[in-house]
A and B are shown apart, each in its own frame.
Chain A
Amino acid sequence: MIPAAFDYRRAGSADDAFAQLQKLGGDARVLAGGQSLIPAMRFRLARPSVLVDINGVAELDYITMNGALTLGAIARDSAVERASWIGERGWSLIHDVSRVVADPVVRQMGTVVGSLCHNDPSGDWPAVALAARAEMVVRGKDGQRTVPIDQFLVDSFTTAVQEGEMALAVRFPAPDDRTAGSYQKVERKVGDYATAAAAVQVSLNADGTVRGAGIALSSAGPCAVRVTDAEALLKGQTPTADLIRAAGEAAAKQSDPQADLRGSVEYKKNLAGVLVSRGLRQALARLGVQS
């Protein structure tokens, strides 16, 4: 289908985009990569009356690494996938997800910040951002503010970005040298929504105990969800096979999926648990720990 008619405004700068959003209010949507928004408009699930296109705003097209990894609003998935640091162990969660978002052509246009703002319950980046404890940079009437990802992801397709506001960037804290992650996704085919997916990031103390773990699920309910019980189970413990199994069971319990052609509720809950355990084993293996 062809989208409903809309007015198109090309932003010349981040200031210009923000000014237009302030003026237009709730009728306007930011057009970043468009890989979710345009299909939604084609199905008439979204009917914004104005699109503010930020694709030409060079100052939002950046990936910087100083203390934290910061991705500007127009940083493409493909740029993350090809980044020089992507093979470093500390960024293994980002490495894994960068290869499985949608399909390789969609990743040429799609943006990380756009995915987070879309907040699809089956999206990859919301779960990854939870596990990595990312934060969002949002510009509002009173200036810029930083929003922890847990508060940013409000509900299905809903975020802390209010009318007239704009997400400028996402920031991932730099992992230390005893941190690794893993993203585990089961999909029927490339580009399909995940049947289940789990994002895991683990930091170890020098004695091999877990200093902190980030564990989150996608396709497991109305919004990406942090598995707080699994994180608490692991903290301070030496990882063992039993502990990893228990973390998986906590994830299965917290998973709240809907049955569809991809599987029953029972199957998807079980799979969420399996993927968390598998992700933990891979993250630990990357840290040289067999479990």
Chain B
Amino acid sequence: MKVSIKVNGVQYEKDVEPRTLLAYFLREDCGLTGTHVGCDTSSCGCCVVVMDGDRAVKACTMFAAQADGHEILTVEGLAQGGALHPLQQAFWDQHGLQCGYCTPGMLMTSYALLKHKPNPSDGEIREELAGNLCRCTGYNNIVKAVRQAAETLQAAPATK
């Protein structure tokens, strides 16, 4: 079947099988391998992308067909003009990653979180990231990074 999905501002028109999962559509049909597949069973959160601006979804548990006509933002769409997004900069500054495998999912879940709650408490950040697993950091620096990004984005709300 034909699908037309806008990913990071670029329209992709592709012919896919109905059973094609969004994560594989992004990685294999669009060549956007920033979206990682970890557990492949909706448990780890590595594959999280943002749909229609503010909804974090697990791309391994959604068919590409369901995204037809919608907009998807992946980790590749965060940086603008060579400048890291405040979330990415904060993960760098706060050492919010080590191996980096979970990071795209962490970033995209945090991105949607900050759309809904621009000034979350540490507890709220931990709750919202509860579906994203990290085996390296122990999470503390990830929470600090999301705090930093929240402060940066609030100081400069024009940044997306």
**Residues in B neighbouring A2, C-beta threshold 8 A:** 19, 21, 24
| A82 pairs with B66, CB closer than 8 A | no
| B66 pairs with A103, CB closer than 8 A | no
Q: Chain B's nearest CB lies how many Å from the CB of A46?
A: 12
**Residues in A neighbouring B24, C-beta threshold 8 A:** 2
- Expressed in whole angstroms, the Cα–Cα distance for A34 and B24 within the complex equals 17
Q: Which of B6-14, B56-64, B73-81 contacts A (4 or more CB under 8 A)?
A: B56-64
What residue in chain B is nearest A53 (Cβ atoms)? Answer: B66
Instruction: Tell whether A5 pairs with B17 under 8 Å between CB atoms, given A38-B61, A108-B56, A191-B43.
Output: yes
| B131 pairs with A42, CB closer than 8 A | no
Q: Chain B's nearest CB lies how many Å from the CB of A14?
A: 18
Question: Is residue A277 contacting chain B, with contact meaning CB distance below 8 A?
Answer: no
Q: Could you say which interface size class chain B belongs to?
A: 20 to 34
**Residues in B neighbouring A31, C-beta threshold 8 A:** 63, 66
**Residues in A neighbouring B132, C-beta threshold 8 A:** 105
Main secondary structure of the interface of A (DSSP, over half): loop
| B42 pairs with A39, CB closer than 8 A | yes
- Expressed in whole angstroms, the Cα–Cα distance for A290 and B5 within the complex equals 55
Q: Chain B's nearest CB lies how many Å from the CB of A8?
A: 4
Per-residue interface assignment for chain B, residues 39 to 72, with 1 indicating a CB less than 8 Å from any chain A CB and 0 otherwise: 0111101001000000111100111011010000
Question: Is residue A190 contacting chain B, with contact meaning CB distance below 8 A?
Answer: yes
Query: Which residues from 181 to 232 on chain A have a C-beta closer than 8 Å to any C-beta of chain B?
Result: 190-191
Question: Is residue B128 contacting chain A, with contact meaning CB distance below 8 A?
Answer: yes
What residue in chain B is nearest A109 (Cβ atoms)? Answer: B57
**Residues in B neighbouring A43, C-beta threshold 8 A:** 41
Per-residue interface assignment for chain B, residues 124 to 145, with 1 indicating a CB less than 8 Å from any chain A CB and 0 otherwise: 0001111110000000000000
| A8 pairs with B1, CB closer than 8 A | yes
**Residues in B neighbouring A6, C-beta threshold 8 A:** 18-19
| B61 pairs with A35, CB closer than 8 A | yes
| B131 pairs with A190, CB closer than 8 A | yes
| B63 pairs with A108, CB closer than 8 A | no
| B19 pairs with A7, CB closer than 8 A | no
What residue in chain A is nearest B112 (Cβ atoms)? Answer: A108
Question: Is residue A104 contacting chain B, with contact meaning CB distance below 8 A?
Answer: yes
- Expressed in whole angstroms, the Cα–Cα distance for A47 and B57 within the complex equals 23
| A190 pairs with B61, CB closer than 8 A | no
**Residues in A neighbouring B128, C-beta threshold 8 A:** 104
**Residues in A neighbouring B40, C-beta threshold 8 A:** 1, 42
**Residues in B neighbouring A3, C-beta threshold 8 A:** 19
Question: Is residue A4 contacting chain B, with contact meaning CB distance below 8 A?
Answer: yes
Question: Is residue A102 contacting chain B, with contact meaning CB distance below 8 A?
Answer: yes
Partner of B130, one of A35, A108, A191: A191
| A105 pairs with B57, CB closer than 8 A | yes
Binding site for A on B (CB under 8 A): 1, 17-19, 21, 24, 40-43, 45, 48, 55-58, 61-63, 65-66, 68, 109, 112, 116, 127-132
A-B contact pairs, 13 of them (CB 8 A): A5-B17, A5-B19, A6-B18, A31-B66, A34-B61, A35-B61, A39-B42, A82-B116, A104-B109, A104-B129, A108-B55, A108-B112, A109-B58
| 11 further A-B pairs in the complex, CB-CB below 8 A; given A2-B24, A5-B17 | A2-B19, A4-B19, A5-B18, A5-B19, A8-B63, A34-B61, A35-B61, A105-B109, A106-B58, A106-B61, A109-B62
